[in-house]
Structure formats: structure tokens, C-alpha cells
């Protein structure tokens, strides 16, 4: 899958590569934990999902 400019921009905004993300948050519910994907807009999340960038390799 070729890396495009939008994907590179989103990776820079997140600070990591989405498909390599490993969840390290709490097992129980914790209102203080911040989801790292919360910095993205709905459109950016949709872009990652629709183009297959969220799938683990």
C-alpha cells in the first residue's frame, strides 16, 4: 500500500503509525486515560478506516 500525503500528515499528527499501535491503556474503565486517536477529526478517522490503515499487520 503506497503511503500518501494525507496518511503521512495523520501519522505526524498522531505521533505514531496507526497500524503499529499497541493498546497500553487500562484494562478497567478509567476516565483519566486519553485515547490517542481523539486528536483526529471524524474525517481523519474515516480516512484511516476506509483505506485499511487501522488493520494490524
Residues 6+ apart with CB under 8 A from 29: none
Q: Is the pTM of this model over 0.75?
A: yes
Query: Is residue 1 scored above 80 in pLDDT?
Result: no
- Out of 5-9, 28-32, 40-44, 46-50, least confident range: 28-32
Cβ distance 53 to 23 under 8 Å? Answer: no
Query: What value does the mean pLDDT take over residues 28-33?
Result: 86
Q: Which of the pair, 5 or 29, is modelled with greater confidence?
A: 5
Looking at residue 57, its pLDDT comes to: 60
Amino acid at each position: 500500500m503506497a503511503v500518501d500525503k494525507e496518511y503521512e500528515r495523520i501519522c505526524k499528527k498522531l505521533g505514531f503509525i496507526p497500524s503499529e499501535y499497541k493498546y497500553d491503556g487500562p484494562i478497567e474503565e478509567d476516565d483519566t486515560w486519553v485515547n490517542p486517536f481523539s486528536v483526529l477529526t471524524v474525517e481523519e478517522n474515516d480516512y484511516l478506516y476506509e483505506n485499511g490503515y487501522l488493520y494490524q499487520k
